[in-house]
Amino acid sequence: MRLLMSVTSVVFLAVAVNGCSDSISPESIVGIWVEDGSPPGNSLEIMLALNASAVSGQGSWCGEALGCGLTTVTGTATGNRFHLVTTFDNGRIETFDGSLVSSSSLTGTETETFSDGTHVSRDQSFTRVIRDPAS
Protein backbone atom coordinates (compact mmCIF):
# COMPACT_ATOMS: atom_id res chain seq x y z
CA MET A 1 0.00 0.00 0.00
CA ARG A 2 2.80 2.39 0.90
CA LEU A 3 4.53 1.64 -2.44
CA LEU A 4 1.30 2.32 -4.34
CA MET A 5 0.87 5.67 -2.57
CA SER A 6 4.51 6.62 -3.30
CA VAL A 7 4.17 5.74 -6.99
CA THR A 8 0.86 7.59 -7.21
CA SER A 9 2.40 10.66 -5.58
CA VAL A 10 5.35 10.67 -7.99
CA VAL A 11 3.07 10.28 -11.02
CA PHE A 12 0.78 13.05 -9.76
CA LEU A 13 3.74 15.37 -9.18
CA ALA A 14 5.18 14.63 -12.64
CA VAL A 15 1.85 15.38 -14.32
CA ALA A 16 1.41 18.58 -12.31
CA VAL A 17 4.91 19.86 -13.11
CA ASN A 18 4.61 18.97 -16.78
CA GLY A 19 1.16 20.55 -17.03
CA CYS A 20 2.37 23.79 -15.45
CA SER A 21 5.58 24.16 -17.39
CA ASP A 22 5.62 26.75 -20.15
CA SER A 23 9.16 26.58 -21.41
CA ILE A 24 10.07 29.82 -23.13
CA SER A 25 13.15 30.54 -25.18
CA PRO A 26 13.96 32.93 -28.01
CA GLU A 27 12.62 30.31 -30.43
CA SER A 28 9.20 30.76 -28.81
CA ILE A 29 8.83 33.99 -30.84
CA VAL A 30 8.38 31.96 -34.04
CA GLY A 31 4.74 31.93 -35.11
CA ILE A 32 1.70 34.10 -35.67
CA TRP A 33 0.94 36.88 -33.17
CA VAL A 34 -2.01 39.26 -32.86
CA GLU A 35 -1.96 42.59 -31.08
CA ASP A 36 -4.15 42.61 -27.97
CA GLY A 37 -6.62 45.34 -27.10
CA SER A 38 -7.17 46.78 -30.57
CA PRO A 39 -10.31 48.89 -30.84
CA PRO A 40 -13.15 47.39 -32.92
CA GLY A 41 -12.31 47.55 -36.62
CA ASN A 42 -8.56 47.65 -35.98
CA SER A 43 -6.11 44.76 -36.00
CA LEU A 44 -2.48 43.81 -36.42
CA GLU A 45 -1.33 40.25 -37.10
CA ILE A 46 2.32 39.36 -37.68
CA MET A 47 4.09 36.11 -38.53
CA LEU A 48 7.59 36.04 -37.04
CA ALA A 49 10.66 33.94 -37.79
CA LEU A 50 14.00 33.75 -35.96
CA ASN A 51 17.46 33.21 -37.47
CA ALA A 52 20.14 33.30 -34.75
CA SER A 53 19.32 36.64 -33.06
CA ALA A 54 17.59 38.23 -36.07
CA VAL A 55 13.79 38.42 -36.08
CA SER A 56 11.94 38.94 -39.34
CA GLY A 57 8.40 38.66 -40.51
CA GLN A 58 5.42 39.99 -42.31
CA GLY A 59 1.87 40.70 -41.43
CA SER A 60 -1.36 42.50 -42.10
CA TRP A 61 -3.16 45.39 -40.47
CA CYS A 62 -6.59 46.96 -40.63
CA GLY A 63 -7.72 50.34 -39.39
CA GLU A 64 -11.40 51.12 -39.09
CA ALA A 65 -11.31 54.21 -41.31
CA LEU A 66 -7.95 53.52 -42.94
CA GLY A 67 -8.57 50.30 -44.81
CA CYS A 68 -6.16 47.39 -44.59
CA GLY A 69 -2.61 46.70 -45.68
CA LEU A 70 0.62 44.80 -45.18
CA THR A 71 3.57 45.09 -42.81
CA THR A 72 7.16 43.97 -42.62
CA VAL A 73 8.89 43.27 -39.33
CA THR A 74 12.60 43.31 -38.50
CA GLY A 75 14.25 43.06 -35.12
CA THR A 76 16.58 41.39 -32.70
CA ALA A 77 16.35 38.83 -29.94
CA THR A 78 18.47 38.88 -26.79
CA GLY A 79 17.44 35.99 -24.60
CA ASN A 80 13.69 36.35 -24.11
CA ARG A 81 13.77 40.10 -24.87
CA PHE A 82 12.86 41.43 -28.29
CA HIS A 83 13.18 44.68 -30.21
CA LEU A 84 10.82 44.72 -33.20
CA VAL A 85 10.31 47.38 -35.85
CA THR A 86 7.04 47.09 -37.77
CA THR A 87 6.84 49.07 -41.01
CA PHE A 88 3.35 49.53 -42.40
CA ASP A 89 2.77 49.93 -46.14
CA ASN A 90 1.19 53.34 -45.46
CA GLY A 91 4.52 54.64 -44.06
CA ARG A 92 3.71 54.26 -40.36
CA ILE A 93 6.49 52.78 -38.21
CA GLU A 94 6.09 51.26 -34.74
CA THR A 95 8.78 49.85 -32.49
CA PHE A 96 8.11 47.28 -29.82
CA ASP A 97 10.44 46.47 -26.93
CA GLY A 98 9.30 43.59 -24.79
CA SER A 99 9.74 40.05 -23.63
CA LEU A 100 8.07 36.69 -23.75
CA VAL A 101 6.23 36.08 -20.50
CA SER A 102 5.02 32.70 -21.74
CA SER A 103 5.18 30.81 -25.02
CA SER A 104 1.91 32.50 -26.01
CA SER A 105 2.28 36.00 -24.52
CA LEU A 106 4.58 38.84 -25.55
CA THR A 107 4.39 42.07 -23.53
CA GLY A 108 6.22 45.37 -23.58
CA THR A 109 6.12 48.93 -24.84
CA GLU A 110 5.10 50.03 -28.32
CA THR A 111 6.25 53.39 -29.65
CA GLU A 112 4.83 55.09 -32.72
CA THR A 113 6.87 57.86 -34.34
CA PHE A 114 4.98 60.48 -36.31
CA SER A 115 6.20 62.48 -39.31
CA ASP A 116 6.67 65.59 -37.13
CA GLY A 117 9.12 63.68 -34.92
CA THR A 118 6.81 63.20 -31.94
CA HIS A 119 6.56 59.82 -30.25
CA VAL A 120 3.68 58.12 -28.48
CA SER A 121 4.43 55.10 -26.29
CA ARG A 122 1.97 52.70 -24.70
CA ASP A 123 1.93 49.32 -23.02
CA GLN A 124 1.19 46.61 -25.55
CA SER A 125 0.88 42.86 -25.65
CA PHE A 126 0.55 40.19 -28.31
CA THR A 127 -0.98 36.74 -28.13
CA ARG A 128 0.14 33.74 -30.17
CA VAL A 129 -2.47 32.45 -32.60
CA ILE A 130 -2.79 28.72 -33.09
CA ARG A 131 -4.63 27.83 -36.25
CA ASP A 132 -5.99 24.45 -37.23
CA PRO A 133 -3.92 23.42 -40.29
CA ALA A 134 -7.09 22.09 -41.92
CA SER A 135 -8.71 25.55 -41.95
The model's pLDDT over 24-37, given as tens digits with 9 standing for 90+, comes to 788 989 999 999 99
Q: Is residue 46 a part of any domain in this protein?
A: yes
Q: Is residue 2 part of a domain?
A: no
| Count of domains forming the chain | 1
Query: Is 95 contained in some domain?
Result: yes
Considering the entire predicted model, what is its pTM?
Answer: 0.78
What CATH number should be reported for the domain holding residue 54?
2.40.128.120
Which residues span the domain enclosing 49? 26-129
Residue 16 lies inside a defined structural domain of this protein: no
Residue 7 within any structural domain of the chain: no
CB contact set of 90 (below 8 Å; sequence gap of 6+): 66, 69
* Nearest residue to 32 (alpha-carbon basis) of 10, 57, 9: 57
C-alpha separations of 86 from 17, 22, 45, 70, 95 in Å: 37, 27, 11, 10, 6
CA dist 27 and 79 (Å) reads: 9
For residue range 26-75, list pLDDT tens digits in order: 898 999 999 999 888 899 999 999 999 999 999 999 998 889 999 999 99
Residue 69 lies in a domain: yes
Residue 11, in any domain of the structure: no
